Amino acid sequence: MSNDLGMDRSGNGNNWTVNNINNTDQMLDTPTNNFAVMNPLRPNCSTAFREGNLYLRDSGSVMGVSTILPETGKWYWEVDPQDRYAGSPQYGIATENINNETEVGSNLDGVKIVAYSGGNDISLHGTGTLHGSTGPWPSDHIWGFALDNDNGKLWISRDGDWTHVLSGGNPSTATNPTASGLPTGYPVFGNIGSDSTTYNAYIRVNFGADGTFFGNQTSGGYSDDNGYGDFKYEPPSGFLALCTKNLPEPDVKPQEHFNTVLYTGNGSSNTISNVGFQPDFNWIKCRSTGYNHVLNDVLRGSNDLFADTTNAEADYESVALQSTGFHLEGTSRVNANTDTYVAWNWKANGSGSSNTNGTITSTVSANQDAGFSIVSYTGNQTAGATVGHGLSKAPEMIITKSRAGTTGWLVGHNGLPDWSYGLALNTTAATWSENPLWNSTAPDATKFTLGSDTFGNSSNTRIAYCFHSVDGFSKVGSYTGNDNADGTFVYTGFRVAFLLLKNTATAGEGFVIINNKSDPNNVTGTYLEVYGSSAEQGTAGTTFSRSIDFLSNGFKLRGNSTEVNDGETMVYYAIAETPQKYANAR
């Protein structure tokens, strides 16, 4: 760290007088490069961390998780436990179910050093193989973690020595890892905490912002291969500090593939031209009056469907999709004079083409980059029939409806127990299964499978909207609520623009939508019910039972409504405003 604390680097001599701040209080963070810290917004963590959220000094069963949770890449960080181990402090990595866990106990999959008075151990929970142990536990050592999240391998060092845990261990050459076979494709990250409810845990962590551990060590002055970070010991070749500059460049710019626009109806001819692209799927809802949700897409022409009813499609409204937005006519549900509206717009791939990957030929408009496709097909009520979806990965959420019939909307989602279950978009029913739904078969990279039920495979023309997660752009997932105003934190890897939520277990609670344009500041105070035609509920910026904070890396529940934060499984689909690499909290 530099020794010119308080000095004006502009050369104008406007220096500050330093008071109660030391050089070791400086971090390497800048407005364009933020290093990870432990996340204080996880439940039970708000009072656990000190020193800029890099020091766990608390009693109770607390788990800290880093604020940057990459799903790919190679990463290095260091942990400095103090010489007091009462209470079994733990530190390492966690691999699965992280959104649903608040403690560091054995139910959390991962690799952890479990330190306690008089000894220590490395433990593995979940998938993988453990190859080494730390041996006898001496005090005052710094433990390094080198994680290869592309190949599911982890190395642990003591004071920079990678052979202490396992002879021949060398992350730079990928030899003799401490653990291997760990899950890949999951967020894998620093995990630190205590599982004691009686004793304090004292643990310092450095993800690259401060190799002195806020003045308690002498930094080695080492940075990663990209020149980022300040570490006590040299990071192995190819392993990077957990900072936003090191995150991969997003493949998708959110505003080029999804955009929310607000507008006011005029009761006559109205062109909304600020979408930024031709919306191939357009979802409109009146905010000020109780009109239906109106859905249009490029494959169905001028016909509309209502998300909140079972109506067959028809040209109920005059919505014409155009090159930079859409055009409206009349005084209908989408353009009543002086009423306010929100429109959510997705880009697919134009008018579509024939797809023969399934046993049923479909017409597909697919945006593979953004993980979204529109699929039109004719059902046959035959269990095991398949439909090509046009994406490069398996859909994680599918929303389908009969175009000609009046059966309801069916939603399949990877947060449900399996693909024999479904949810209703247009009602408040809990999860259900019939025949079974989706023929109990998960979608694959080319097609999805149908049961013989009329909800997904009625013998008439149907429409399906298919979605999968895309790093930095969208996330299809689930979490368990905690029925508390200090609600669950959900990591997405981006600041959220659009959030679709549903309680899967409790009847009477339906899908709701929260978006960043209706609610531009935290906390969110408004939402729209998908299952009904009600106007927008709540007041922007006002805390209530369904409030949520949109953060740079995900969202946190701030209300205890059963609809969004009960102690049950919630499923969601989120779209980014800004990827975490470039995002700031609101």
The domains of the chain are located at 23-246, 254-346, 353-467, 474-579
pLDDT tens readout for residues 484-543: 988 999 999 999 999 999 999 999 999 999 999 999 999 999 999 999 999 999 999 888
3-state SS class at 284:
strand
Answer whether residue 249 shows pLDDT above 90: yes
For the segment 397-417, the average pLDDT, to the nearest whole number, is 96
pTM above 0.75, yes or no: yes
Q: Which residue has the higher pLDDT, 187 or 280?
A: 280
**Superfamily for 23-246?**
SPRY domain (2.60.120.920)
Answer whether residue 103 shows pLDDT above 90: no
Residue 1 has a pLDDT of 45
CA 560 from centre of chain:
20
Residue 399 has a pLDDT of 98
pLDDT tens readout for residues 262-290: 999 999 999 999 999 999 999 999 999 99
**Tokens for 68?**
């940057």
Answer whether residue 373 shows pLDDT above 90: yes
Residue 374 has a pLDDT of 98
For the segment 158-175, the average pLDDT, to the nearest whole number, is 95
Four-CA torsion 557, 561, 562, 566, nearest 10 degrees = 40
Residue 141 has a pLDDT of 84
Contact 491, 457 (CB under 8 A): no
**Tokens for 45?**
């963590």
For the segment 203-224, the average pLDDT, to the nearest whole number, is 93
Answer whether residue 477 shows pLDDT above 50: yes
Looking at residue 187, what DSSP letter applies? Answer: -
Contact 488, 481 (CB under 8 A): yes
- Tell me the percentage of the chain whose pLDDT exceeds 70: 89
Rounded to an integer, what distance in angstroms lies between the CA atom of residue 509 and that of residue 368? 32
Average pLDDT, rounded, for the chain: 89
For the segment 146-170, the average pLDDT, to the nearest whole number, is 94
